[in-house]
Copies of this chain bind each other. A is one copy, B any other.
Amino acid sequence: MKIINDKDNQYFSNNWNYCIGTGRLGLALQKEYWDHLKLVQEKISFQFIRGHGLLHDDIGIYRELNLPDGSTKPFYNFTYINRIFDSYLQLGLRPFIEFGFMPQALASGDQTIFAWEGNVTPPNDYDKWYNLIHAVVSHFIDRYGLEEVKKWPFEVWNEPNLVNFWKDANKEEYFKLYKITASAVKDVCPDLKVGGPAICGGSDEWITDFLTFCKNENVPVDFVSRHAYTSAKPHKVTPEYYYQELFDCDHMLDELKEVRELIHSSPFPHLPFHITEYNTSYSPINPVHDTPLNAAYLARVLSEAGDYVDSFSYWTFSDVFEEADVPKAQFHGGFGLVALNGIPKPTYHLFSFFNKLGEIILHRDTECIVTKRGDDSITIVVWNVVMKKGHDFNKDMSIDLPFPYKEAFIKRQTIDENHANPWKVWKQMGRPRFPKQNEIETLIEVAKPQIRTERKLVIDGRLPLTITLTKNEVSFIEISRVKDETETYIELDDSLIPSYSKEWSS
């Protein structure tokens, strides 16, 4: 029994909704991408969005024109990036800029990553790179205004500590890139915010080295960024799927704490710390992303990670994503909160539940968070992570709450293996790769949480709840006051209706 009191409360940060990840920015031109992002913003309202490919050739910012005299001249084309950023701002999102990857005309080599072939080699001419960064940032200010752009973080490159994201994972080369990029940004305006090193986990000495480098070389740095995933190396890879083990739930939280301490003991102890990517698996074709487990597993992360980091950005909002080629099936293990054809996955609902929590934490532990909202209503997220196979993993939970009214209306929204699990229904349908319109409609219909309501008497200012959680259930519970108006209906008597009785409950 969790006995909860309304004192010594703390504020709940919204670091969990600070930023969301996206497939490469060029995909933001697509209609389905935009439809999904709208769906996400309506229920979740992220503040920033971050993705790769700002400088990739499909957006085409950097080109070299061939002049009549045989020489070439850089040409900066903002046709597409304007369209993309205009649409983000229209949906209430600001860009969390990531500079990368290398435009072909500036690349020093041929190495690429992903099906869409992002070039991961250093620039062939750092002066041209400096000019490009300077031109891009200047353009943003010209179009969106300095006050707006001062709010945008500028992050340099992505996971340079991996050989497939940065040629040879060359640390010195990265520091050089960072230094020149940062100076280009700050030369436009010293108030703009620049940061790095955007590494994935496993090489945290890069952070120490990076901050030391900045200190020693007097290079500006406004924030530290890093990624975090909680899955092991794949133990099986098929032509369409990766299968991986998940680490324990504590794994990610411990990692974040450790890096935060690392920063605390660095030359820049108070720098903001952004997790610019996280998820369970780092693979866009791991089916765990489609499951209720993914939501149940991440519940605790959303509840607690904001204590250690200034933001953590779920990777990614939509299965409109092409790193492992065009998606080959309706469900294919993509990162998205939203699957193809606009079907919300369980993790979408997890985020929407957190979006309705109150500002004040009444209670928090490893299986629930209880908050209060401004209107005195109480909101709770509870979860039951089960990584074992089979059924019969129900968990009972009792929560005893303070509630200063006579009666409570309780609304419970539930996702679990049998509710809001379109992946399961799709399997029942026979895993149709390209479902038809009526199948899509069914999948959208079943992708809604189960809703249960009840009305309860409050006794001596206390409201006891007893909840049974099924396997991988996440429930969102709202408790609000009942203002009963029944007395105002003169001589009302439901028992005079055929088949009904007097009680509201029947």
Q: Report A's interface with B, CB cutoff 8 A.
A: 29-34, 59-60, 63, 65-68, 73, 75, 77-80, 82-83, 86-87, 143, 235-236, 238-241, 243, 245-246, 286-288, 291, 293, 325-329, 340, 386-391, 407, 409, 411, 424-425, 427-434, 436-437, 442, 445-446, 448, 451, 453-455, 471-472, 482-486, 488-501, 504-506
Whether A498 contacts B60 in the complex (CB less than 8 A), given A30-B31, A428-B409, comes out as no
Contact partner of A240 (CB less than 8 A), chosen from B82, B425, B490, is B490
Please name all residues of chain B whose beta carbon is closer than 8 Å to the beta carbon of A455 when the two chains form the complex: 428-430
| A490 closest partner in B (C-beta) | B239
Please name all residues of chain B whose beta carbon is closer than 8 Å to the beta carbon of A327 when the two chains form the complex: 79
| A143 closest partner in B (C-beta) | B436
Taking a contact as CB atoms under 8 Å apart, the answer to whether B472 and A499 are in contact is: yes
A295 to B369, CA, bound (A): 40
Please name all residues of chain B whose beta carbon is closer than 8 Å to the beta carbon of A499 when the two chains form the complex: 291, 293, 386-389, 471-472
Closest 9 CB pairs of A and B: A243-B496, A430-B484, A427-B504, A60-B326, A31-B31, A428-B455, A65-B239, A238-B491, A430-B482
Please name all residues of chain B whose beta carbon is closer than 8 Å to the beta carbon of A291 when the two chains form the complex: 497, 499-500
Q: Could you show 14 A-B contacts with beta carbons less than 8 Å apart?
A: A29-B30, A31-B34, A65-B490, A66-B239, A68-B491, A143-B434, A238-B489, A238-B493, A241-B489, A329-B489, A386-B499, A388-B499, A442-B451, A448-B448
Taking a contact as CB atoms under 8 Å apart, the answer to whether A243 and B326 are in contact is: no
As for how many copies of this chain the complex holds, the number is 4
A346 CB to closest chain B CB, in angstroms?
A: 12
Whether A326 contacts B79 in the complex (CB less than 8 A), given A32-B29, A287-B494, comes out as yes
Taking a contact as CB atoms under 8 Å apart, the answer to whether A77 and B489 are in contact is: no
Taking a contact as CB atoms under 8 Å apart, the answer to whether A453 and B428 are in contact is: yes
A490 to B64, CA, bound (A): 13
Taking a contact as CB atoms under 8 Å apart, the answer to whether B82 and A493 are in contact is: no
Taking a contact as CB atoms under 8 Å apart, the answer to whether A428 and B445 are in contact is: no
Please name all residues of chain B whose beta carbon is closer than 8 Å to the beta carbon of A328 when the two chains form the complex: 75, 77, 79
Please name all residues of chain B whose beta carbon is closer than 8 Å to the beta carbon of A501 when the two chains form the complex: 389-390
Please name all residues of chain B whose beta carbon is closer than 8 Å to the beta carbon of A505 when the two chains form the complex: 427-428
Contact partner of A326 (CB less than 8 A), chosen from B32, B80, B387, is B80
Contact partner of A490 (CB less than 8 A), chosen from B30, B68, B78, is B68
Contact partner of A430 (CB less than 8 A), chosen from B77, B409, B498, is B409
Please name all residues of chain B whose beta carbon is closer than 8 Å to the beta carbon of A236 when the two chains form the complex: 491, 493, 496
4 further interface pairs, Cβ-Cβ under 8 Å (given A433-B485, A446-B453): A29-B29, A243-B493, A424-B504, A430-B484
Taking a contact as CB atoms under 8 Å apart, the answer to whether B453 and A287 are in contact is: no
Taking a contact as CB atoms under 8 Å apart, the answer to whether A67 and B434 are in contact is: no
A283 CB to closest chain B CB, in angstroms?
A: 12
Please name all residues of chain B whose beta carbon is closer than 8 Å to the beta carbon of A78 when the two chains form the complex: 433-434
Taking a contact as CB atoms under 8 Å apart, the answer to whether A325 and B428 are in contact is: no
Taking a contact as CB atoms under 8 Å apart, the answer to whether A431 and B29 are in contact is: no
Please name all residues of chain B whose beta carbon is closer than 8 Å to the beta carbon of A494 when the two chains form the complex: 287, 427
A442 CB to closest chain B CB, in angstroms?
A: 6
| A434 closest partner in B (C-beta) | B78
| A243 closest partner in B (C-beta) | B496
Whether A498 contacts B387 in the complex (CB less than 8 A), given A31-B29, A340-B79, A493-B243, comes out as yes
Please name all residues of chain B whose beta carbon is closer than 8 Å to the beta carbon of A245 when the two chains form the complex: 498
| A456 closest partner in B (C-beta) | B428
A493 to B59, CA, bound (A): 28
